Amino acid sequence: MDNDQIREEIKRAISEERVMLFMKGTPDMPRCGFSARISQILNASGVDYAAMDILPDPRIREQLSGLSGWPTIPQLFVNGELVGGCDIVTEMFESGELAETLGAEQPQAAAAGPPAGPAPQAPPLQIE
């Protein structure tokens, strides 16, 4: 797969998935704390989301950052728009703004911070 095909797969995922998380690892097996935190936040919010592991090919991260203009991972997109990375998503979760963006109810314990422990999700999307 060449860079253009990778870019098109990323664009497709962003446009077809209402909530799309690009992360290191998978929701069931995050490979960094920041990715784990956003997965936990989304799980606590009760929304369905798709995820893509950027680690299998460094070009995924390169093409994603080129598209989004955001250099760090994870990156959360809602309705085709970049929401942000871990710090922004965490702040939005704690303030209730993320629930509004997601069209979900604010979890009761949100003010205490994101919950611990992953919850199972759909299998991650992959670029092959």
Give the model confidence (pLDDT) of 44-71 as tens digits.
999 999 999 999 999 999 999 999 999 9
Predicted pLDDT of residue 104: 84
Look at residue 121 in the predicted model and tell me its pLDDT.
Answer: 53
Mean pLDDT of 32-52: 95
- Has residue 112 got a pLDDT over 80? no
Residue 127 has pLDDT above 70, yes or no: no
User: What is the DSSP secondary structure assignment for residue 110, as one 8-state letter?
Assistant: G
Contact between 55 and 43 (Cβ < 8 Å): no
Name, in order, each residue with C-beta under 8 angstroms of 21's C-beta and a sequence gap of 6 or more.
Answer: 27, 35, 38, 39, 42, 49, 50, 51, 52, 74, 75, 76, 77
pLDDT at 111: 47
Question: Residue 69 phi/psi, 5° resolution?
Answer: 75, 15
How far is the C-alpha of 58 from the C-alpha of 42, rounded, in Å? 25
Which of 29-33, 43-47, 103-107 has the weakest average pLDDT?
Answer: 103-107
Is the pLDDT score of 128 beyond 80? no
**Which one is predicted more confidently, 53 or 116?**
53
Structure tokens of 45?
């919010």
**Domains of the chain, with CATH numbers?**
3-105 (3.40.30.10)
